[in-house]
Amino acid sequence: MSGLVGVPYHEVRPRLGRDLSCRELVEVYLGAIEAQDGSVRAYLTVTADQARQEAEALDRRLASGEPLPPLAGMPVALKDNLCTRGVRTTCGSRILEPFVPPYDATAVRRLREAGAVVLGKTNLDEFAMGSSTENSGFGPTRNPWSLEHVPGGSSGGSAAAVAAGEAVAALGSDTGGSIRQPASLCGIVGLKPTYGRVSRYGLVAFASSLDQIGPMTLDVRDCALVLQAISGRDPHDSTSVDVPVPDFLASLEGGVRGVRVGLPAEFFGEGLDPQVREAVLRAVRVLESLGAVVEEVALPTLEYALPTYYLIACAEASSNLARYDGVAYGSRSRRAEDLYTLYARTRAEGFGPEVKRRIMLGTFALSAGYYEGFYKKAQQVRTLVRRDFDRCFQRVDVLATPTSPVAGFRLGERTADPLQMYLADVYTIPVNLAGLPGVSVPCGFADGLPVGLQLVGRPFDEATLLRVAYAYEQATEWHRARAPVLRS
């Protein structure tokens, strides 16, 4: 039975209701969490009893002849910034340590309705601010490929859980790369949908104009399955868009013959690890050998994307995080004497250093006298970034780039230098600024650690992204590689 761990859901599913029950499948994953999570530390909360009950309820439905819902019995993990009814949702922050939401996020509700079973809530950088999970208020997660290395972030717990066989799939959130970068560092598939494709209702807000929820899975087919379940307009989120959700699975098989793939030269320049460059260029040659047409394109605004993002994301964060004042949510300082000290002490005690840094930067960028020069300017540059992508997509169907300039770095290596940490997302951030869909798929190794290929598509064209990613995956074996913790 333990041979099921690390096997994609679509391969296990035909056995459900025959020689395998949902309960047995869930038990296998709970066993893996028990065995390994002491060293990986992917989870902040494990909801074992609830998972068992949900799995048994599904088994009863199956036994009574009901048809299998699309994700029946799929053992999933949820990033701990997604609200779960009755289950603590910390956002990786001490300030939300006692917070128990009264409702499920829409994406979570849809997953459950599709039959998925939630195993628990995964670790993240506090309020999703970071690229390594080292900013978590509850200690870092480790990379299942090497416990001395970071799993990436901020959805590092979700990525590590899937890579370590502690969940078959997970949800993450991506504001500047937080699904794709940890997917890349942990050797799994991670997709950030187009802004508006998936409802953000119940996702604790970091930067509302950039945040999106998306799947993290062992392969592209599972990714399509999860994306299908969570996509679509939601009346609870006015930024979710009412466009048809195509059948992502049906479009997987089309191949890449004639698909035009753009290589933006700027994404292969300074700062890119030579082994990562080599792996990504090899992946592009594979696509070419399958019939794709590759050409170079230009994205000259890349160099402005990082500073633009850090102005906009911090400005939005300073506004969104104003609600944590010790009154309505989460923890409250015991040392408050009046209203002012209640605010000040609750925040001083509850927020970690990175969150404080960003609130201060964002408040500054929005303040009178600086707003025009910083926030407004950043919004204007954001438009230029979007136009650069639009121009590229007049010539090509998808862009291919590295997901991250380096494979995993060591724990502690970048914590003292915020700029070094921010550079981990230099290739993913422009995609959020433009609101486009992007996916990271495993494409090799650098010094024994996984490397990801990023594919970026036109707005609401996740179907093409998945088709190209699937064609690549079918032609290669990288997605079958498993972390050492899983092989032992």
Please state the closest distance from residue 264 (CB atom) to ligand GLN, in A.
Answer: 20
Give 129 or 230: the residue with its C-beta nearer to ligand GLN: 129
Helices and strands per DSSP (H, E), number in the chain: 16, 11
In the region spanning residues 202 to 231, those forming contacts with ligand GLN, defined by CB under 6 A, are 206
Rounded to the nearest angstrom, the gap between the alpha carbon of residue 253 and the centroid of all alpha carbons in its chain is 24
- Could you give the CA distance from residue 139 to residue 214 in angstroms, rounded to a whole number? 24
Q: Is 313 helix (H, G, I), strand (E, B) or coil?
A: helix
Give 154 or 318: the residue with its C-beta nearer to ligand GLN: 154
Q: Is 17 in the site for ligand GLN (CB under 6 A)?
A: no
| Residue 124 backbone phi and psi in degrees, to 5 | -155, 160
Distances (CA, A) of 446 to 145, 274, 407, 425, 487: 12, 9, 6, 18, 19
| In contact, 133 and 151? CB cutoff 8 Å | yes
Active site residue 64: no
Please state the closest distance from residue 366 (CB atom) to ligand GLN, in A.
Answer: 17
Bridge-based pairing of strands 75-79 and 169-174 is parallel
In the region spanning residues 106 to 165, those forming contacts with ligand GLN, defined by CB under 6 A, are 128-131, 154
Task: Pick the stretch among 64-72, 96-104, 170-178, 329-337 that binds ligand GLN (CB under 6 A).
Answer: 170-178
| In contact, 355 and 346? CB cutoff 8 Å | no
Q: Is 178 in the site for ligand GLN (CB under 6 A)?
A: yes
Q: Is 175 in the site for ligand GLN (CB under 6 A)?
A: yes
Active site residue 440: no
In the region spanning residues 292 to 321, those forming contacts with ligand GLN, defined by CB under 6 A, are 313
In sequence order, the 6+-apart residues with CB closer than 8 A to the CB of 14 are none
Please state the closest distance from residue 273 (CB atom) to ligand GLN, in A.
Answer: 18
- Could you give the CA distance from residue 169 to residue 217 in angstroms, rounded to a whole number? 5
Beta-bridge partners for 141: none
Q: Is 177 in the site for ligand GLN (CB under 6 A)?
A: yes
Q: Is 193 in the site for ligand GLN (CB under 6 A)?
A: no
Q: Which of 132, 146, 154, 318 is catalytic?
A: 154
Closest CA to 256 of 223, 296, 294: 294
Give 409 or 470: the residue with its C-beta nearer to ligand GLN: 409
Q: Is 464 in the site for ligand GLN (CB under 6 A)?
A: no
Q: From the list 174, 388, 462, 473, which residue makes contact with ligand GLN (rule: CB under 6 A)?
A: 174
- Could you give the CA distance from residue 441 to residue 283 in angstroms, rounded to a whole number? 10
- Could you give the CA distance from residue 187 to residue 219 in angstroms, rounded to a whole number? 10
Q: Which of 79, 93, 121, 199 is catalytic?
A: 79
Residue type for position 275: Q
Give 155 or 346: the residue with its C-beta nearer to ligand GLN: 155
Would you state the structure tokens that stand for residue 280, as one six-digit string?
């990504």
| Residue 251 backbone phi and psi in degrees, to 5 | -90, 0
Q: Which of 178, 199, 231, 440 is catalytic?
A: 178
Q: Is 408 in the site for ligand GLN (CB under 6 A)?
A: no
Give 326 or 402: the residue with its C-beta nearer to ligand GLN: 402
Would you state the structure tokens that stand for residue 122, as one six-digit string?
């995964």
Please work out the total of residues on this chain that contact ligand GLN, with binding judged by CB under 6 A: 13
Q: Is 176 in the site for ligand GLN (CB under 6 A)?
A: yes
Please state the closest distance from residue 406 (CB atom) to ligand GLN, in A.
Answer: 14
Give 23 or 414: the residue with its C-beta nearer to ligand GLN: 414
Would you state the structure tokens that stand for residue 134, as one six-digit string?
């080292």
Closest CA to 186 of 206, 166, 213: 166
Give 73 or 176: the residue with its C-beta nearer to ligand GLN: 176
In the region spanning residues 59 to 88, those forming contacts with ligand GLN, defined by CB under 6 A, are none
Q: Is 425 in the site for ligand GLN (CB under 6 A)?
A: yes
Distances (CA, A) of 228 to 71, 255, 302, 466: 10, 20, 31, 12
Active site residue 136: no
Site string for ligand GLN, 25-54 (x = CB under 6 A): ------------------------------
Task: Give the binding site for ligand GLN (CB under 6 A).
Answer: 128-131, 154, 174-178, 206, 313, 425
Active-site annotation, residues: 79, 154, 178
